[in-house]
Amino acid sequence: QKEVEQNSGPLSVPEGAIASLNCTYSDQGSQSFFWYRQYSGKSPELIMFIYSNGDKEDGRFTAQLNKASQYVSLLIRDSQPSDSATYLCAVNMNSGGYQKVTFGTGTKLQVIP
Amino acid sequence: KAGVTQTPRYLIKTRGQQVTLSCSPISGHRSVSWYQQTPGQGLQFLFEYFSETQRNKGNFPGRFSGRQFSNSRSEMNVSTLELGDSALYLCASSLQTGPFSNYGYTFGSGTRLTVV
């Protein structure tokens, strides 16, 4: 079992729709969770972090966390073609008392105009 | 403020050679992490440095090593290069570190290493 799992996609949604990206993780003790966006040929950039169960909203983005189910998701409302990118889920895992941020392989999102 | 600077941007090396990559973090950031990114494996953790000390290391062979200097700049070295080492190497800096840290990474543009 991979430490952080994501559906590789591609996930295709029409412009204006809600895109839902999902991530599961294996380490029950993990406390901090991040979403990064990576455009083709570019480096990942941080878009959201969440550490409490429930929802966290930032503009068109909502991160959702359920620690009991070891599940993190990212919702993108009113999807735009500029949102087309690969979305990486990252989990901060405790490794010997130090952080070890483990990434999923990413979900490719395509927003169709 | 200046971002994370990685040099060089591109490298072509021959099998068996060694290579050194450099990373200058954002001013004030003392945590520097290195990742290898390949199409098949995604982002794989190499190591993390904080205040000149290696805090953690991923599952890579001993040919991969790194260090951090007093000004927080970091280098990673790969010796005896293999074809499979061809990848994008990303450096990421962070203000704080720790298993409960909520500080995310700022990534550099990466060094694209090709081993022939």
Instruction: Tell me the pLDDT tens digit for each residue of B37-58.
Output: 999 889 999 999 999 999 999 9
Q: What is the pLDDT of residue A96?
A: 81
Q: Which residue of A has its CA nearest to B31?
A: A99
Which of B105, B106, B109, B111 to probe by mutation at the A interface, max A CB count within 10 Å? B105
How many CA atoms does the CB half-sphere of A69 hold within 13 Å?
A: 11
Q: What is the pLDDT of residue A1?
A: 76
Q: What is the pLDDT of residue B65?
A: 97
Measure Cα distances from B24 to B5, B16, B86 in Å. 5, 27, 22
Phi-psi bin for A96: left (phi > 0), alpha (psi -120 to 50), beta? left
Residues of chain B contacting residue A96, judged by C-beta atoms under 8 Å apart = 56
User: Which residue from A49, A94, A98 is facing B104, i.e. has the nearest CB?
Assistant: A49
Residues of chain B with pLDDT under 50: none
pLDDT tens-digit series, residues A8-42: 889 999 999 999 999 999 999 898 999 999 999 99
The fraction of chain A above a pLDDT of 90, given in percent, is 86
Q: What is the pLDDT of residue A107?
A: 97
**Contact criterion met (CB below 8 Å) for A86 and A29:** no
Q: Which whole number is the average pLDDT over A38-62? A: 96
Q: What is the pLDDT of residue B73?
A: 97
3-class SS of residue B37: strand
Q: A49 CB near a chain B CB, below 8 Å? A: yes
- Residue A14: is the preceding peptide bond cis (ω within 30°)? no
User: Which residue from A44, A88, A100 is facing B56, i.e. has the nearest CB?
Assistant: A100
Q: What is the pLDDT of residue B1?
A: 64
- Beta carbon pairs, A and B, within 8 Å: 69
Give the pLDDT band of residue A103 (cuts 50, 70, 90): very high
pLDDT over 90 at A70, yes or no: yes
3-class SS of residue B88: strand
Which of A28, A99, A107 to probe by mutation at the B interface, max B CB count within 10 Å? A99
Q: Which whole number is the average pLDDT over A62-77? A: 97
Q: Which whole number is the average pLDDT over A76-103? A: 93
> How distant is the Cα of B79 from the closest Cα of chain A, in angstroms?
24
**Cβ <8 Å between A103 and B97:** no
